[in-house]
Amino acid sequence: GAAPSQARTWIVMQDGSGDFMDIQSAVDACAVGDSVLVGPGRYQGYHTWQPGDGAPTFDVIVGVDVDSLTIIGVDRETVIIGPDVLNADTTAKIGFGTALATTWTVFRNLTLENIRDRGIHLYPAGRVTDCVFRNIDSGILAERGRNILIEHCEFFSSICDITTYGPEPEYKATIRNCDFTLGGGGVHVTGHPNVEITHCNFIDYLNPIYIGGGSTARIDSC
């Protein structure tokens, strides 16, 4: 029989020394299970993206259509997603968007900042770890929250850092070992039956944790 395909790591370097110079081009080249290793620099160009047939369009920096993709920065202090200043208009923007056809996406070792709307729109499952979110309307939107893990992340000066919802009883979202500093809303849970928030720090927050109707959350060591 045919040999199983091997996952590949595509390298993004703005100086041209990698496979691609921008993240979207690397993602477009990926197959299921591949990884994208992102070199230092600021990645900020928005483009119109339509995730699948009949879906609405979004202004994104990176749109992810391929399943089981991992995007990793070489150093979260130097790999920055978003413009150097927040856009003055009110048009919704997304740093990383994931399509309805995806089932699992991993983001690690990145900084996202100055994005007017969502830093990462995660659907319906995946992991965000060792990332920094700064000055973003909504740092992470975990839509449906089937199997979400957010850990070792830092959030600064956002309107709402993490929003998760998912109506099915087996859905689960875990948020642990994260630091939240100077924001309006930290973790916003609505319509989600199974959320764990553990070992998180909230400093100077108007509304650190909100648990909405139909939600059940376990909060420990925060």
Which pLDDT value is given to residue 4? Answer: 47
Terminal-to-terminal C-alpha distance of the chain? 52
Angle CA(87)–CA(91)–CA(93) in degrees, nearest 5? Answer: 75
Which pLDDT value is given to residue 97? Answer: 94
Can you name the residues that pair with 46 across neighbouring β-strands? Answer: none
Length of the chain equals: 222
d(CA 160, CA 139): 7
Pairing of strands 147-151, 195-198: unpaired
| Ramachandran bin of 204, using left for φ above 0, alpha for ψ from -120 to 50, beta for the remaining angles | left
Tokens, residue 29:
């080249």
This prediction's pTM: 0.94
How do the pLDDT tens digits run along the chain, 222 residues long? 343 468 999 999 999 999 999 999 999 999 999 999 999 999 999 999 988 766 789 999 999 999 999 999 999 999 999 999 987 777 889 999 998 788 899 999 999 999 989 999 998 899 999 999 999 989 999 988 889 999 999 999 777 788 887 778 888 999 999 999 988 889 999 888 899 999 999 999 888 999 988 888 999 999
H or E stretch covering 25: helix 23-29
Which residue in 137, 131, 135 sits closest to 92, CA to CA? 137
Which residue in 32, 118, 43, 41 sits closest to 70, CA to CA? 32
DSSP structure string for 29-63: H--TT-EEEE-SEEE---EEE--STTPPPEEEEEE
Which residue in 119, 163, 126 sits closest to 146, CA to CA? 126
d(CA 131, CA 87): 22
Pairing of strands 35-38, 9-12: parallel
> Hey, which bits of the chain come out as E strands?
9-12, 35-38, 41-43, 47-49, 58-64, 69-73, 79-81, 93-98, 105-108, 111-122, 125-129, 132-143, 147-151, 154-156, 160-165, 172-176, 179-189, 195-198, 201-211, 217-220
